[in-house]
C-alpha cells in the first residue's frame, strides 16, 4: 500500500485510444492489466509492464498496444469495475446490459485495429504520407462473456461490493438491480423516483447497503427535476437514509417549488454524479457533476446524513471519485482534465495530476481507477487516451 | 432658374407652381383653401361642414399640444364671442411648452418608432430632451435636420448621435432611414436591384450608403447608468457593391463604390495623404473627426435649400401630420410613380416653407388656420383619412396623448399631490404604468397606418387600473359631479364638458341623469362608471 | 424581383393614393393576387376554416436525436434508431410514441435556414424573414389569424401558450397580436374583470348608448373597429373556462403523457375545437451546448408523447384534416459533438415536421448526407417552409401586405411551396 501522505507521481503514460470518447477505465488489481471502454461500446485490454519507469521512461508513452478486444456491447460503455479475483471485470453499457468478462477466457479470432487514427491524420496533414496507411495492431477478440439483461434502458451506474460477491447497477428508468456475482442472478431490485436516472452507486463496506444518486435533466420548462441521494438496504430494498431530506427537511422532490429549486442551487448543482462510501463506512461522498462552476464534493455523515464538509478543487463538475483505502483521501477526476487527491479531514489538496487544458470547457477526464496497491492510477480522457500514473511514496 | 434646376433634377413637373408663389400677398392658409377647393369643384365633391367650436377646440389642442383643454378652458372658449378666437387660441397653443413636447414626441416616433433597432436605444432621453429644446426655440427645420445628420457630441449630453446609434454599423439601413425621413423617398428596393419603375438604380442606393459606410458607434463614457455614445467616422473604408441580389454567389467580392448624391454628382473627395494611418477609436474618448467627413458632406447636401427633395418632403410630412393624408401619400414615398394629389399646392407649400427659412411654427400656424383643417370630421365615408380633404381626418390618440387627456379631464393632473401614494406609478404616465400603456396603446396602427385597436387595449381599458385616475380629491371631476348640492343637470353637463369638451345632447342628458340618479348609498360609484364610459368611448379615443 | 416591386407600385398607386381599396375591416385589401386572380378561393376558405398548431422547440432540438439518425457515424451520438409504423422509416429511440404516428407526419430532413443564433432564429422561424431594422414582420400566427381567423367569435385568433418569439403581429397591427397564456394556462394581465356582473352589464349598456351617439351620424370606421375590439375583450370574460384543464386532465393524462407540455397540447386541441385559428405551444431548453444526450433524454420523451397524443386526439375527433401541426424550433444542432458532449447551433441541414391539413403522412422529404453535414437532396429554406405551411392552410403564400409602401409577401419573395409534401 502506498503511503498517500507522501505520494507523488514517478511516471505518466498516455495510451492512445482514439476514435470515440474513452468513457470508462479499470486497472486490474495487479495494476498490470488495464481495460478501457469508449462511447461506441469498444472495449480493449492492455498489458502494462510491471515497472513502467524502468522499462519505458518517466513520461514517454510506452509503445503499448491493446492485446485483446472484448466484443459484445452495442453502445457506449459507462462503467468498468474489476473484481478482486484479478482476472474478471464487469462492464455497464448504454446497450441496456451489464457484462462479466473473464480475461483469461479463450479468444476467438483476431482483428486489426487502429487506435491512433486522429494522430495519424494529424501527421498526414503535416505531410507524412505513410501515416494513414501504416498497419494497425492485431488484437485477439473475445466474445465470451456473461450478459446480465434485466435493464430496459441505459445502464449508467455500476458498483461492486468490497468482497466482489455483489454488483449493483442502475439505469435511466430509475431501476436499481443488485446482482449475486456467483449465480449471476438479480437478487434484489427497486425503483427510484419517476423519470429519474440512476447516475451513481456505491456499496457500503459491509455490502448491506448501497448509496444511490438519482437525477435527471428537466423534462419541461419550469420543471425542477427530482434529485435524490439515498442509502438503501439491499436486502429489503428500503431506504434507510435520505441525505437530501437530512439537509433540507422540507424538501419534496416531486414539487417544482422554490424549496426544491434551492436544493439544486445549494447542494445538487447539476447533479451528484459520483459517489463513494469511506472504507470505515462512516462517510459518504457525493460529487457535483455537469458544468457547474466548481465540482464540489459533499462529505456526509453516514449515520445522521448531515453534511460534514464540502471539499474539492475542480473547476466544473467531477465525473468520478473514490476514497483511498486508508480513508484519508479522495481521488477525483472531472471536467477540468485533472485528477485531484484531496485530504478528507480538511479539504486540502494533496496532489493534482494532469493540468487543465485552458479555455472554457476543454475536455474531461471521464473515469478513474486504481490498482490494489494504489501505486498505479488510471484515468480515461475524452481527448482519446488513457492516462496511467505510477505513484511513489519515498 | 432655381425651379428649372429642380425640375431637371427630380424629373417631374413643378412648373405650374411658379404662378402661385408669386402671389406673395396671399397668406399660405388661403392658398391651401383655394387649391383644395378647386379640386373639390373639379371632382364635384361636397365637403363636410366646418367644425364646431367644440370640435375645433379639442382637435387643435391635441394636434398642437398633444393634450386636451380643461373644463374651464372649454367653457371659456365656447363662450367667447370674438371673431378671431380660433386664431388667438392657435397662437397661444403654439407658444405653450406642451407644443414643444408634443412635436418632440412626434419626431421621436419619426426618428425611432416605438421599438427602435439597436442596443440602448430605448433609453434616449438625451435626444428627446434635445428635440424638445429645438421645438421650444423653433429651430429652423434645416438646422434641426443638419444637427441630426451631423450627429455631433454624444447621446446623453447632446442627443442627436442616437439617431445613428440605432443603425449601428449598417450603412444600408441608415441610408434607407435617412432617405425616407429627410428626402421622402424609398430607396430600399434599389438595395437589391435596379428599380423597374423609379428613377434610381442600385448604384444610387449604394452611392448614398457610401457616405455612411465609415461611421462607427463609439462608447465615450457613462452617466446615471446610461452609456454615452458618439458617432466616429473613419478616414477610409468603402461600401462594397456586389450587383443584383439575385446574382449573388458565395465568395463573390464586391467592388468599392464611391459616394454619389442621389441622382446627382459624385462626391468630390480629396485623396488621403500617402503616409496616412487609420485611427482606431478608443473607448471613453471622443472620436477625432476625420480629415474629410463624408457624413457632413451628405448632411450639407440634404439640408441645403435647393436640395430637390428636402423642402417638399418636410412640407408634405407636416401637412400629413395635421391633415391626415399626405399630398403625396404615404409621405415617405415621393416618386414619379406616386404623384401628389395636389401638385401645385405641394410645390407652393415647399417654396413657402423654404422662403420662410424652414420655420415650422409659422408653417403649422398656416395649416391649422386653414378652413381645410377646420372642417368637421363628419361627412366623409368614415375613412380615417377622407379623400381629397373633404372632411377632417380621424386619428387615434397616441399613448402619451391618451394618458394626458385622462389626466386633464378627470382632474387628476390638477389635484395630484407632489408625491403620489405608494405603489402608484410616477413619471409622465402617472398614475398609470408607462410599460402597459406603451404595450397596449403604443402601436395602434397596422403597417399601412390604419387604426386597428386590439383586444389587449380593451382588456386594459375594461379591467385595468383606470380607477386610479378617478381621484375623489376636492376639485377632481368625480368629486365635483358627485356633489349632491349641485343640480343633477348641471353635473351631467359638467361631465360632458370636462370629458368630451362639448355639452351633452338632450338624449344624453336624460340617459346619463337616469344612470347616475339611482338611489344608492354610493352614488359616486355610478358617476365613476359614467366617467369610465366617457373615458373609453370612441369619441374620447380618437381625435376627430 | 420584377413581380415583387411591380405589384407594389400597382397597389400603392391605386390602393393607397385613392384609398379605394380600404375594406370594411378597416385595412387595405391585402390579397391582391389571391382575391382577384382566384375568386373561388375566398369562398372556399369561408366554408372551411383551417387551424394551425405550432409546437415550438425553443433552443433548437437536435435532428440527430429525433428524425435524422446517423447511427454508427461519428456524428451519430449514442441514441439508436427504432422502426416506425412506416416501413423503412426509422426515428430516434427517444420517440416510441411518435414512431407509431409516422404515417400521419411528413418529416423534412433538408432544412437549410439563414439565422444561426437564437434571437435571429426565433424571429426567422416565426416570421419566415430575417430580422430587419426597418420592417416589423408578422409571425405566422398573426398571418393565420388574419386569413383563417373568425372575427366576432369569443376567443382570440392567435394564442401562444408558454412560447417564444416577440415579433407578434408586426405590421399586421394590434388586431392580430398574440394572446399569451402561461405555462399552466394562466391568463395575461387585465384579462379578468373585478366588477360584479350587474355592474359590468349596466356599464356596458351605458357605453353602448354613448357609442351609438357618436356613430349615429358618423360612419367612422375607427369607431367601428374600436367597438368590435371592445366586444371581443368583453366576450373573453365568458370563455375563460376554456383555458382551464384541471377537470379534464385525468382523462387525458395517459394519452398526452404526464407532463406540462402534454397539458398544453391538450389545451391546444381544445382551443382548435373552440375555433381558434392558431395556437403555439412551446417547450424550452433544447439549447444543448453541453450534455446534449442527457438533455434530449430529458426533453424529448415527454414532448413526443404529447405530440403523439395530440395527433391521435385530433385524428379521433376528425380535426386533423383541417389542422396543421407544425413541429420546429429556431435552429438545428451541429453534427459534431463538441468536447462538452454538446451540440452547437446548426442551420445548414436540420429537420422539421408537419402533419395534418393536407400534408402527406408517412413521408420523409429531403435527405442529409451520411454524416448529416450538408443537405444532399431537396433543400428547404425558411421561405419554402412557410410557403408550404400557408399553402396547406389555403392561404396564398404570395399574398402581400404592406409595411408602409413596401409590399411584403407572406412567404419571402422567391420561396417555393414544397408541393411534394402536400397530398
The interaxial angle of helices B488-499 and B523-536, nearest 10 deg, is 30
Provide the shortest C-alpha distance from residue B192 to chain C (in Å): 9
Q: Which residues have CB under 8 Å from C268's CB, separation 6+?
A: C53, C161, C279, C281, C310
Parallel/antiparallel/unpaired status of strands C278-283 and B542-543: unpaired
Within this chain, do residues C218 and C148 fall inside the same structural domain, yes or no?
no
Q: Are residues B403 and B498 in the same domain?
A: yes
C186 Cβ under 8 Å from any chain A Cβ: no
The answer as to whether C33 is a domain residue is no
**Is position B118 within any domain?**
no
Question: Which sign does the torsion angle of CA B171, B175, B181, B183 carry?
Answer: positive
Asked if residue B458 and residue B329 are part of one domain, the reply reads: no
pLDDT at B25: 75
Per the structure, the complete domain to which residue A320 belongs is given by 4-392
Q: Are residues B388 and B417 located together in one domain of the fold? A: no
Clarify whether residues C204 and C266 are in a common domain.
Answer: no
Q: Rounded to 5 degrees, what are φ and ψ at A242? A: -110, 105
Say whether both C174 and C201 belong to one domain.
Answer: no
- For all residues of chain C together, what is the average pLDDT? 88
A321-374 residue pLDDT tens: 999 999 999 999 999 999 999 999 999 999 999 988 877 778 899 999 999 999
Q: Are B174 and B195 in contact (CB under 8 A)?
A: no
Instruction: For residues A371-391, give the mean pLDDT.
Output: 96
Q: Give residue B228's pLDDT.
A: 95
Q: Which residue of C has its CA nearest to A23?
A: C341
Provide the domain limits for residue B448: 397-543
CA distance to A79, A106, A120, A366, B283, per residue, from A36 (Å)? 9, 19, 21, 11, 53
B352 found inside a domain: yes
* pLDDT recorded at residue B1: 30
Encode pLDDT of C173-220 as tens digits: 888 999 999 888 889 989 988 899 999 999 999 999 999 999 998 989
Given CB atoms, is B508 within the 8 Å cutoff of chain C? yes
pLDDT band at C26 (very low <50, low <70, confident <90, very high): very low
Subunits next to A (3 or more Cβ pairs <8 Å) are: C
Report if residue C145 sits inside a domain: yes
Contact between C340 and A94 using a beta-carbon 8 Å cutoff? no
How many other C-beta atoms can be found within 10 angstroms of the C-beta atom of residue B336?
Answer: 11
Please say whether the beta carbons of B401 and B67 come within 8 A: yes
Kindly state whether residues B329 and B411 are assigned to the same domain: no
Cα(B466)–Cα(B482) distance, integer angstroms: 18
Give a yes or no: residue C212 inside a domain.
yes
Residue A221: what pLDDT?
80
Q: What is the CATH number of the domain that holds C116?
A: 3.40.720.10
Q: Does A363 touch chain C (CB under 8 A)?
A: yes
Are the beta carbons of C215 and B538 separated by less than 8 Å? Answer: yes
Residues of C in contact with A290 (CB under 8 A): 290-291
Reported ipTM: the value is 0.93
Q: Does A291 touch chain C (CB under 8 A)?
A: yes
Residues C251, B360: Cα–Cα separation, whole Å: 69
Considering only CB atoms, which chain B residues are within 8 Å of C18? Answer: 387
Burial class (CB in 10 A: 0-12, 13-18, 19+), C211: buried
Co-location of C87 and C64 in the same domain: yes
pLDDT band of C3, cuts 50, 70, 90? very low
Q: Are B424 and B430 in contact (CB under 8 A)?
A: yes
Assess whether C124 and C223 both reside in one domain: no
Are C79 and C173 in a shared domain?
A: yes
List C-alpha distances in Å: A276 to A325, A332, B475, C323: 12, 11, 77, 54
pLDDT exceeds cutoff 70 at C40: no
CB contact under 8 A, A39 and C78: yes
Q: How far is C96 from chain B (nearest CA, A)?
A: 41
Can you read off the three cell numbers belonging to residue A63?
Answer: 509503445
Do B411 and B539 lie in one domain? The reply is: yes
Q: Are residues C404 and B186, on separate chains, in Cβ contact within 8 Å?
A: yes
Q: Is B461 among the domain residues?
A: yes
Residue with cell 429644446: B133
Same domain, C160 and C176: yes
Does any domain span residue B501? yes
**Residues of chain C neighbouring A216 (CB-CB closer than 8 A):** 294, 297-298
Determine contact: C183 vs chain A, CB below 8 A. yes
Distance CA(A235)–CA(A223), nearest Å, equals: 34
Residue B181 lies in a domain: no
DSSP per position, B335-351: BTTB--SSHHHHHHHHH
Separation in Å, CA B145 to CA B139, B341, B392, C171: 10, 26, 29, 27
CA distance B544 to chain C (A): 10
Contact C291 A217 (CB under 8 A): yes
Q: Are residues B524 and B423 in the same domain?
A: yes
CB contacts of A39 in chain C (<8 Å) are 78
| Mutation target vs B (from C405, C406, C410; most B CBs, 10 A cutoff) | C405
Does the CB of C290 have a partner CB in chain A at under 8 Å? yes
Taking the Cβ of residue B381 and every Cβ of chain C, the question of whether any pair is shorter than 8 Å is answered with: yes
C386 and C393 Cβ atoms separated by less than 8 Å: no
Task: Determine contact: A223 vs chain C, CB below 8 A.
Answer: yes
Contact A221/C283, CB-based, under 8 Å? Answer: yes
Question: What is the tally of structural domains in chain B?
Answer: 2
Q: Are residues C386 and C257 in the same domain?
A: yes
> Residues C45-60: pLDDT tens digits?
344 689 999 999 999 9
Q: Which residue of C260, C301, C339 is in closest CB contact with A361?
A: C339
Query: Confidence class of residue C37 from pLDDT cuts 50, 70 and 90?
Result: very low
Residues C180 and C196 reside in one and the same domain: no
CA–CA min distance B273, chain C (Å): 36
CA atoms of C339 and C290, how far apart (whole Å) = 8
- Does the pLDDT value for residue C18 go beyond 60? no
Query: Mean pLDDT, to the nearest integer, of A151-160?
Result: 97
Whether residue A303 has pLDDT greater than 80: yes
Q: How many domains does chain C have?
A: 2
Cβ contacts of C162 on chain A, cutoff 8 Å: 221
Which of B204 and A79 is assigned the larger pLDDT? A79
Domain that includes residue C352, residue range? 49-185+244-395
Residue C272 lies in a domain: yes
pLDDT of residue C32: 31
Asked if residue C215 is part of any domain, the answer here is yes
**B258 domain residue, yes or no:** no
Q: Work out how many domains chain A is built from and give that number.
A: 1
Shared-domain flag, residues C326 and C348? yes
Share of chain C above pLDDT 70, in %: 89
Q: With CB atoms and an 8 Å threshold, state whether C259 touches A220.
A: yes
Final residue of a domain: which of B358, B393, B428?
A: B393
Which stretches of chain B drop beneath a pLDDT of 70? 1-24, 189, 192-198, 244-253, 418-421, 423-425, 519-521
Q: Tell me how far apart the alpha carbons of residues A352 and B517 are, in angstroms, rounded to a whole number.
A: 87
Looking at residues C95-114, what average pLDDT do you find?
Answer: 98
Looking at the complex, does the CB of residue A7 fall below 8 Å from at least one CB of chain C?
Answer: no
Contact criterion met (CB < 8 Å) for A39 and C259 = no
* Residue C22 in domain: no
Task: Grade residue A169 by pLDDT with cuts at 50, 70 and 90.
Answer: very high
Q: Are residues B352 and B412 in the same domain?
A: no
Task: Verify that C158 and C291 share a domain, yes or no.
Answer: yes
Q: Is residue B401 located within the same domain as residue B504?
A: yes
Where helices occur in C132-194 by DSSP H, the ranges are 140-148
CATH of the domain at A166: 2.130.10.10
Residue C5 has pLDDT above 60, yes or no: no
C229 and C328 fall within a common domain: no
A373 to chain C, any CB pair closer than 8 A? The answer is no
Chain A nearest-CA residue for C94: A153
Whether A379 contacts chain C with CB within 8 A: no
Q: Find the CB nearest B192 among C1, C12, C234.
A: C1
Amino acid at each position: 500500500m502506498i503511503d498517500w501522505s507522501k505520494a507523488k507521481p514517478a511516471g505518466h503514460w498516455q495510451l492512445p485510444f482514439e476514435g470515440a470518447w474513452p468513457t470508462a477505465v479499470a486497472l486490474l488489481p495487479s495494476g498490470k492489466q488495464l481495460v478501457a471502454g469508449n462511447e461506441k461500446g469498444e472495449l480493449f485490454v492492455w498489458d502494462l509492464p510491471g515497472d513502467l519507469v524502468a522499462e519505458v521512461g518517466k513520461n514517454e508513452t510506452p509503445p503499448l498496444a491493446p492485446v485483446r478486444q472484448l466484443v459484445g456491447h452495442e453502445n457506449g460503455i459507462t462503467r468498468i469495475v474489476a473484481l478482486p479475483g484479478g482476472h474478471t471485470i464487469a462492464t455497464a453499457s448504454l446497450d441496456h446490459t451489464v457484462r462479466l468478462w473473464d480475461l483469461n477466457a479463450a479468444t476467438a479470432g483476431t482483428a486489426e485495429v487502429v487506435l491512433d487514427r486522429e494522430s495519424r491524420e494529424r501527421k498526414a496533414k503535416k505531410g507524412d504520407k505513410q501515416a494513414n496507411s501504416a498497419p494497425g495492431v492485431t488484437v485477439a477478440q473475445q466474445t465470451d462473456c456473461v450478459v446480465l439483461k434485466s435493464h430496459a434502458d441505459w445502464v449508467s451506474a455500476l458498483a461492486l461490493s468490497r468482497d466482489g460477491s455483489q454488483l449493483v447497477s442502475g439505469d435511466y428508468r430509475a431501476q436499481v438491480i443488485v446482482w449475486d456475482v456467483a449465480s449471476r442472478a438479480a437478487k434484489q431490485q427497486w425503483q427510484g423516483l419517476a423519470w429519474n436516472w440512476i447516475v451513481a452507486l456505491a456499496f457500503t463496506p459491509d455490502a448491506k447497503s448501497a448509496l444511490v444518486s438519482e437525477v435527471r435533466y428537466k423534462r419541461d420548462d419550469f420543471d425542477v427535476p427530482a434529485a435524490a441521494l439515498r442509502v438503501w438496504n439491499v436486502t429489503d430494498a428500503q431506504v434507510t437514509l435520505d441525505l437530501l431530506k437530512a439537509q433540507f427537511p422540507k424538501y419534496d422532490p416531486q414539487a417544482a417549488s422554490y424549496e426544491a429549486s434551492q436544493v439544486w442551487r445549494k447542494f445538487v448543482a447539476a447533479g451528484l454524479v459520483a459517489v463513494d462510501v469511506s472504507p470505515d463506512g462512516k462517510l459518504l461522498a457525493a460529487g457535483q457533476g455537469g458544468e457547474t462552476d466548481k465540482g464540489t464534493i459533499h462529505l456526509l455523515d453516514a449515520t445522521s446524513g448531515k453534511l460534514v464538509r464540502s471539499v474539492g478543487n475542480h473547476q466544473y463538475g467531477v465525473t468520478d471519485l473514490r476514497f483511498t483505502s486508508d480513508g484519508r483521501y479522495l481521488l477525483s477526476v472531472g471536467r477540468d482534465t485533472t485528477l485531484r487527491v484531496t485530504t478528507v479531514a480538511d479539504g486540502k489538496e494533496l496532489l493534482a495530476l494532469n493540468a487543465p487544458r485552458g479555455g472554457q470547457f476543454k475536455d474531461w477526464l471521464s473515469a478513474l481507477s486504481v490498482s490494489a496497491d494504489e501505486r498505479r492510477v488510471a484515468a480515461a480522457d475524452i481527448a482519446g487516451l488513457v492516462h496511467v500514473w505510477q505513484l511513489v511514496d519515498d | 432658374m432655381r425651379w428649372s434646376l429642380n425640375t431637371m433634377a427630380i424629373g417631374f413637373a413643378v412648373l405650374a407652381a411658379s404662378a402661385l408663389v408669386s402671389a406673395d400677398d396671399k397668406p399660405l392658409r388661403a392658398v391651401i383653401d383655394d387649391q383644395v377647393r378647386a379640386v373639390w369643384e373639379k371632382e364635384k365633391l361636397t365637403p363636410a361642414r366646418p367644425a364646431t367650436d367644440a370640435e375645433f377646440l379639442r382637435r387643435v389642442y391635441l394636434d398642437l399640444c398633444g393634450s386636451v383643454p380643461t373644463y374651464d378652458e372649454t367653457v371659456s372658449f365656447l363662450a367667447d364671442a370674438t371673431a378671431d378666437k380660433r386664431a388667438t387660441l392657435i397662437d397661444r397653443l403654439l407658444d405653450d411648452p406642451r407644443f414643444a413636447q408634443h412635436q418632440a414626441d412626434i419626431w421621436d416616433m419619426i426618428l425611432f418608432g416605438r421599438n427602435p433597432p439597436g442596443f440602448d436605444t430605448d433609453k434616449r432621453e438625451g435626444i428627446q430632451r434635445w428635440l424638445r429644446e429645438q421645438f421650444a426655440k423653433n429651430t429652423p427645420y434645416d438646422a434641426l435636420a443638419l444637427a441630426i445628420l451631423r450627429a455631433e457630441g454624444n447621446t446623453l449630453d447632446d442627443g442627436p448621435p442616437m439617431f445613428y446609434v440605432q443603425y449601428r454599423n449598417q450603412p444600408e439601413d441608415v441610408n434607407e432611414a435617412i432617405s425616407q425621413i429627410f428626402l421622402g423617398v424609398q430607396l430600399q428596393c434599389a438595395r437589391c436591384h435596379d428599380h423597374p419603375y423609379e428613377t434610381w438604380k442600385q448604384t444610387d442606393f449604394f452611392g448614398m450608403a457610401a457616405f455612411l459606410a465609415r461611421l462607427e458607434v463609439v462608447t465615450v463614457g457613462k452617466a446615471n447608468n446610461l452609456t454615452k455614445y458618439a458617432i466616429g467616422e473613419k478616414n477610409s473604408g468603402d461600401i462594397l457593391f456586389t450587383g443584383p441580389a439575385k446574382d449573388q454567389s458565395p465568395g463573390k467580392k464586391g467592388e468599392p463604390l464611391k459616394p454619389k448624391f442621389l441622382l446627382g454628382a459624385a462626391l468630390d473627395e480629396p485623396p488621403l495623404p500617402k503616409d496616412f494611418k487609420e485611427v482606431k477609436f478608443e473607448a471613453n474618448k471622443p472620436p477625432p473627426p476625420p480629415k474629410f467627413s463624408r457624413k457632413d458632406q451628405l448632411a450639407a447636401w440634404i439640408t441645403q435649400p435647393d436640395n430637390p427633395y428636402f423642402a417638399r418632403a418636410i412640407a408634405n410630412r407636416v401637412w400629413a401630420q395635421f391633415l391626415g393624408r399626405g399630398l403625396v401619400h404615404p409621405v415617405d414615398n415621393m416618386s414619379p410613380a406616386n404623384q401628389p394629389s395636389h401638385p401645385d399646392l405641394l410645390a407652393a407649400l415647399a417654396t413657402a416653407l423654404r422662403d420662410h427659412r424652414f420655420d415650422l411654427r409659422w408653417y403649422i400656424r398656416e395649416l391649422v388656420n386653414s378652413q381645410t383643417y377646420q372642417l368637421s370630421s363628419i361627412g366623409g365615408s368614415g375613412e380615417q383619412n377622407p379623400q381629397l380633404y373633404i372632411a377632417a381626418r380621424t386619428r387615434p390618440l397616441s399613448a402619451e396623448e391618451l394618458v394626458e387627456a385622462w389626466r386633464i379631464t378627470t382632474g387628476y393632473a390638477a389635484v395630484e399631490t407632489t408625491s403620489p401614494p405608494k405603489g402608484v406609478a410616477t413619471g409622465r404616465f402617472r398614475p398609470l404604468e408607462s410599460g402597459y400603456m406603451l404595450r397596449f396603446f403604443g402601436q395602434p396602427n397596422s403597417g399601412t397606418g390604419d387604426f386597428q385597436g386590439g383586444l389587449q387595449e380593451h382588456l386594459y381599458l375594461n379591467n385595468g387600473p383606470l380607477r386610479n385616475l378617478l381621484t375623489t380629491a376636492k376639485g377632481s371631476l368625480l368629486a365635483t359631479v358627485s356633489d349632491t348640492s349641485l343640480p343633477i343637470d348641471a353635473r351631467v353637463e359638467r361631465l360632458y364638458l370636462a370629458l368630451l369638451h362639448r355639452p351633452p345632447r338632450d338624449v344624453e342628458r336624460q340617459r346619463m341623469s337616469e344612470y347616475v340618479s339611482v338611489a344608492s348609498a354610493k352614488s359616486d360609484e355610478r358617476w365613476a362608471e359614467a366617467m369610465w364610459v366617457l373615458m373609453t368611448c370612441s369619441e374620447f379615443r380618437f381625435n376627430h | 424581383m420584377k413581380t415583387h416591386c411591380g405589384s407594389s407600385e400597382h397597389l400603392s398607386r391605386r390602393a393607397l393614393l385613392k384609398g379605394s381599396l380600404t375594406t370594411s375591416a378597416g385595412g387595405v385589401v391585402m390579397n391582391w393576387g389571391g382575391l382577384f386572380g382566384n375568386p373561388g378561393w375566398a369562398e372556399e376558405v369561408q366554408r372551411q376554416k383551417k387551424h394551425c398548431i405550432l409546437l415550438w422547440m425553443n433552443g433548437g432540438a437536435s435532428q440527430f436525436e429525433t428524425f435524422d439518425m446517423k447511427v454508427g457515424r461519428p456524428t451519430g451520438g449514442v441514441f439508436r434508431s427504432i422502426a416506425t409504423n412506416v416501413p423503412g422509416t426509422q426515428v430516434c429511440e427517444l420517440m416510441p410514441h411518435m414512431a407509431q404516428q409516422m404515417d400521419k407526419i411528413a418529416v423534412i430532413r433538408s432544412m437549410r435556414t439563414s439565422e444561426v443564433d437564437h434571437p435571429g432564429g426565433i424571429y426567422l422561424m416565426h416570421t419566415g424573414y430575417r430580422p430587419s431594422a426597418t420592417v416589423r414582420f408578422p409571425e405566422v400566427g398573426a398571418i393565420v389569424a388574419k386569413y383563417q381567423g373568425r372575427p366576432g367569435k369569443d376567443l382570440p385568433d392567435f394564442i401562444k401558450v408558454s412560447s417564444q418569439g416577440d415579433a407578434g403581429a408586426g405590421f399586421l397591427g394590434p388586431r392580430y397580436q398574440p394572446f399569451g397564456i402561461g405555462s399552466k394556462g394562466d391568463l395575461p394581465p387585465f384579462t379578468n374583470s373585478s366588477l360584479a356582473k350587474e355592474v359590468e352589464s349596466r356599464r356596458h349598456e351605458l357605453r353602448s348608448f354613448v357609442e351609438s351617439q357618436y356613430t349615429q351620424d358618423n360612419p367612422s370606421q375607427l369607431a367601428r373597429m374600436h367597438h368590435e375590439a371592445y366586444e371581443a375583450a368583453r366576450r373573453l370574460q365568458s370563455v375563460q373556462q376554456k383555458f382551464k384543464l384541471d377537470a379534464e386532465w385525468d382523462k387525458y393524462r395517459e394519452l398526452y403523457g404526464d407532463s406540462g407540455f402534454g397539458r398544453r397540447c391538450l389545451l391546444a386541441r381544445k382551443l382548435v375545437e373552440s375555433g381558434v385559428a392558431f395556437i403555439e405551444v412551446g417547450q424550452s431548453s433544447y439549447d444543448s451546448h453541453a450534455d446534449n444526450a442527457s438533455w434530449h433524454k430529458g426533453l424529448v420523451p415527454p414532448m413526443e408523447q404529447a405530440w403523439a397524443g395530440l395527433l391521435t386526439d385530433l385524428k379521433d375527433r376528425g380535426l386533423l384534416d383541417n389542422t396543421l401541426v407544425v413541429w420546429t424550433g429556431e435552429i438545428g444542432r451541429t453534427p459534431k459533438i463538441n468536447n462538452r458532449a454538446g451540440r452547437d447551433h446548426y442551420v445548414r441541414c436540420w429537420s422539421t415536421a408537419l402533419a395534418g391539413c393536407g400534408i402527406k403522412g408517412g413521408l420523409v422529404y429531403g435527405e442529409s448526407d451520411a454524416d448529416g453535414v450538408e443537405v444532399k437532396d431537396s433543400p428547404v429554406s425558411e421561405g419554402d417552409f412557410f410557403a408550404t405551411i400557408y399553402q396547406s392552410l389555403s392561404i396564398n403564400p404570395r399574398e402581400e401586405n404592406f409595411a408602409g409602401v413596401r409590399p411584403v409577401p407572406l412567404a419571402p419573395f422567391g420561396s417555393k411551396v414544397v408541393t411534394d409534401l402536400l397530398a
